[in-house]
Structure 1
Amino acid sequence: MSIPPQTLNIPTKQMLAFLSLLAVATAQQVSMPSQPYYEHTYEELKEMGLLQRLVTYNWKLELVTVSFTLFYLLTHFLGASYNARLVSKWVSSAEEVLDKQFASLGCSVKENVVKDDNEHYTYFATGRKNIESLTVRFTLKPRHNLLLLVSETILAFFITSIEQSVDSVNITVKYSSDAESNVDDFIWAIVNKDGMNQARIENYFLSLTKTSESSKLPTEYVFMSETADITEEVYNESENSGLTSSPTLLKYVAFTDQSIVKPTTLEEAASSKKAILYTSFPTTASELKANQDLLTSFLSLVDNVVENVKFRPETLKRVKKTREAETQKIKKALEEVQKEELENKRVEEQRKERERIAKLSPEEQRKIEKKRQEKKQRKQMKQQRVR
């Protein structure tokens, strides 16, 4: 459809005319190669009109640059939008379960989900019996940065120490104060074998557990706990089978009173009870439905741990012994650091003393050396008398 001339304003007409002339001139430049732009003299360029200069100039580098920039911006927008849609689908599906469980959903009145950056989002729920808060942290592939994504994929293929980014969901439950006081100290988890080693590396508390296979679990999973009787108390196959019904989703579910990162101070080693559900990102309708079942089973297990799970005194003694051993390791490490700092301080003081003496006159240096030798002799004589 053509645009009536009377509907165009003057700037628009001029722009269309300019683009038309530029197109014609560019076509002429392609059909009849002209003298390169930089071979023209200043006077020749000065005599040329704007359009002739545009036609004469070689725009290949600019075209490549603009094309690459536009391609980068397009992939950035598409990748960021795809990540946002993944999070939106998860939240919409999960809220069908969470809305029945929690009084308040979303991070704030204005923002249901907080976007930390294009790879990280946060969701929050509160107002439930036994639970003070439920925090969901989404981690996604850097789809907004195609160059980084491709480089990471290639490097991860050749270098085993480089982990390729994956889409994941980490749900952390913090107990209410009354519920926390009713929960014993313990570590227990169901972990997918496929990521078991990585789970140990990323979670300090799992390094304190022992692995055991069980007929109660699908072959894809193992129990990780401090003692076998903890599993007997926590896990009920008939009630908790929903946790492991979708091996493609569940990476691990864990209950712990220890920190995720290995503590280096006694304050960091203090008890911090929580429940964690770590999954891959559901994308299909069937996976989203399985994720709903997984959430329901997880929250049910949290209630069971708070209200029903109590361990025998013998079990609690072993658990306490493990924590005392870890505390002693921290104390020993802190003592070693303190000794090293004192030694470094002593060496630094000796260095400064040597520098001070080096600036003195030869006579003063001899006096100081004489005093040092006398002090050394007195010390040796004292040691001989003690013997």
Structure 2
Amino acid sequence: MAAIIKGLFGGAAPSASPIPAGDSDFADFAGAPDPTPISFSTVSSAAGYGGAVPTSTSTVPWTKWYNVHERHSLGDFKQEGIILGFLVLTVLVHLFGTGSNRKKAKSWISAHAPVLKKEFALVGFGGPQIASEQDSLVLPESLLKEKSPQEFTTYASGRQNVAFLDVNLTLHKRYSPITMIAEFAMSLFFDSMPTPAERVEAILYPFDGREALTVPGQLPGAHELRKDTKSSYDGFVWAIVNKETMKQLRDDRYDVSLTGTKDSPKLPNWVTVMSESAEITDFLLTPELIKAIEEAGDLLEHLIITDQPVDQPQKLDDTVPKKRINLSYRLPSSGDFSKLLPIFEYFIRLTDTLVQGAHFRAEVLRKVRVTREDAIKKLQKADEDEKAEERALEREKAKKLKRDLELKGLDAKAQKKYLEKEKEREMRKMQKKQTQKG
């Protein structure tokens, strides 16, 4: 036992206390150890053998193994610091970008909400709202929906002559500066890549005489539509377009490509008219519209009245007229929307003007119908050619099946004779075709 204690504490075995003679039960037990200092190795050995670690630390030397700040410095964590800093910077930029976009979108809806609430019974996605004095002070969050950090949308319905209105705001990708810079750079080198811009795109869908398909009076404050209400007007394509986007617009949209382009002395030189008839232009180019265009300035991209699809029709069903009114303008960097409100108000009320007066002479409509009929004829011809090709393939398939059945029922000699005759017929056909060509 004394040897074990000596091994544990690194010193001589303590002297044994007197043991009563003849009492062998206490022979293996030693007396109390001398009060000698305890070193670090002594503590480690005792702990390793399951012994009790002394509680006194006055004589234990604290080395670098305990003091982490002596063994490591901040220079050892450079790589971790760079990664952590990059992550923090990315999060901060994302939060700043999304916050800036939300602020700009809220600024737009704050400026346009009074116009929308004045013209429509339902604005936004939170259901009908009762007008009150608080409307000018509190802006309901349901007026605008965030589809993505750069895209916001709103909706309105409940107005005479208008089925509903969709508005989309597209903002810069401020939450991803690298992506935004790359898009701007690519637009400089590739003509097919338009320059990124913050814009509002609104699409208004007129009733066009189909009020009976809805149930009027369901929304509080909505206009009661009588059965004799007529909201239809003649279909045509007409547009006011910024010259900077005119070429791109004509390439991208089928409906606009049907029109002719002509400048008007009544309009600023940066804008042009795209129309199917001069009489339609004379009717739509009102002093109120001209004034609104001048106030909007070159932020206005286009105002389009159309009944044709945006994409090239591929089937006859695609040629069915679907009337819409489109408005697109860029957002001002200053955040002041006062100059754009007149064109937005005119855009909403344009359906009233069309219902009242867009009923043109037969000569005008005949010219408009010619283009549509030509497109329909081309689709009908393509459809007939496709069906004829399918019928020809079916005939060839049936002919081949009949030939295979006939060959299968013949013996080897008869099959050889049959194939020779077939080859002769093919040769005669080829010679006949060559003679006709010559």
TM-score (norm 1): 0.74
Tell me which residue corresponds to 2:102.
84
For residues 280-317 of structure 1, the C-alpha deviation after alignment (integer angstroms, 9 at most, x for no partner) is: 113435x4111211112222332111212211101111
The AA in structure 2 aligned to 1:374 is K
Report whether the alignment pairs 1:292 with 2:337: no
**Contact 2:202 2:327 (C-alpha < 8 Å) held by counterparts:** yes
Assess, with a 3 A threshold, how the Cα gap between structure 1 residues 164 and 64 changes in structure 2: closer, same or farther.
farther
Tell me which residue corresponds to 2:375.
326
Assess, with a 3 A threshold, how the Cα gap between structure 1 residues 181 and 262 changes in structure 2: closer, same or farther.
farther
Assess, with a 3 A threshold, how the Cα gap between structure 1 residues 49 and 316 changes in structure 2: closer, same or farther.
farther
Report whether the alignment pairs 1:61 with 2:79: yes
TM-score (norm 2): 0.66
Report whether the alignment pairs 1:111 with 2:160: no
The AA in structure 2 aligned to 1:208 is L
Report whether the alignment pairs 1:166 with 2:184: no
The count of residues paired between Structure 1 and Structure 2 equals 326
Tell me which residue corresponds to 1:51.
68
% identical equivalent positions: 28
Deviates most, 156-165 or 125-134: 156-165
Aligned match of 1:93 in 111, 116, 126? 111
Aligned match of 1:75 in 86, 93, 106? 93
Tell me which residue corresponds to 2:216.
none
The alignment yields a C-alpha RMSD, in angstroms, of 3.5
Tell me which residue corresponds to 2:312.
262
Quick one: distance in 2 between partners of 1:121 and 1:134?
Answer: 14
Quick one: distance in 2 between partners of 1:50 and 1:371?
Answer: 102
Q: Aligned-pair distance for 1:56?
A: 8.6
Aligned match of 1:373 in 393, 403, 420? 420
The AA in structure 2 aligned to 1:325 is D
Report whether the alignment pairs 1:316 with 2:334: no
Deviates most, 213-222 or 59-68: 59-68
**Contact 1:188 1:231 (C-alpha < 8 Å) held by counterparts:** yes
For residues 171-204 of structure 1, the C-alpha deviation after alignment (integer angstroms, 9 at most, x for no partner) is: 1111124278621110001111121112212322
Tell me which residue corresponds to 1:125.
156
Report whether the alignment pairs 1:208 with 2:258: yes
The AA in structure 2 aligned to 1:305 is L
**Contact 1:244 1:250 (C-alpha < 8 Å) held by counterparts:** no
Q: Aligned-pair distance for 1:58?
A: 3.2
Tell me which residue corresponds to 2:286.
236
For residues 120-139 of structure 1, the C-alpha deviation after alignment (integer angstroms, 9 at most, x for no partner) is: 21111111111111110111
Q: Aligned-pair distance for 1:230?
A: 1.2
Report whether the alignment pairs 1:224 with 2:274: yes
Assess, with a 3 A threshold, how the Cα gap between structure 1 residues 93 and 369 changes in structure 2: closer, same or farther.
farther
| Structure with more relative contact order (C-alpha pairs < 8 Å, separation 6 or more) | 1
Tell me which residue corresponds to 1:194.
244
**Contact 2:232 2:355 (C-alpha < 8 Å) held by counterparts:** yes
**Contact 1:119 1:141 (C-alpha < 8 Å) held by counterparts:** yes
Aligned match of 1:275 in 322, 325, 330? 325
Q: Secondary structure at the match of 2:165?
A: strand
Q: Aligned-pair distance for 1:48?
A: 5.1
For residues 135-185 of structure 1, the C-alpha deviation after alignment (integer angstroms, 9 at most, x for no partner) is: 101112222111111111222223333223211111111112427862111
Assess, with a 3 A threshold, how the Cα gap between structure 1 residues 64 and 175 changes in structure 2: closer, same or farther.
same
Q: Give unmatched runs, 5+ long, in structure 2.
A: 1-63, 128-140, 211-229, 405-410
- Where is the helix percentage greater, Structure 1 or Structure 2? 1
**Contact 2:208 2:233 (C-alpha < 8 Å) held by counterparts:** no
Aligned match of 1:142 in 162, 173, 176? 173
Assess, with a 3 A threshold, how the Cα gap between structure 1 residues 223 and 61 changes in structure 2: closer, same or farther.
same
**Contact 2:239 2:274 (C-alpha < 8 Å) held by counterparts:** yes
Tell me which residue corresponds to 2:353.
304
In the TM superposition, what are the counterparts of 1:12-31 in structure 2 within 5 Å? none
Name the larger-Rg structure.
2
Q: Secondary structure at the match of 1:107?
A: coil
Quick one: distance in 2 between partners of 1:48 and 1:164?
Answer: 61
For residues 340-385 of structure 1, the C-alpha deviation after alignment (integer angstroms, 9 at most, x for no partner) is: 88999999x9xxx9xx9xxxxxx97x9867533322435649x99x
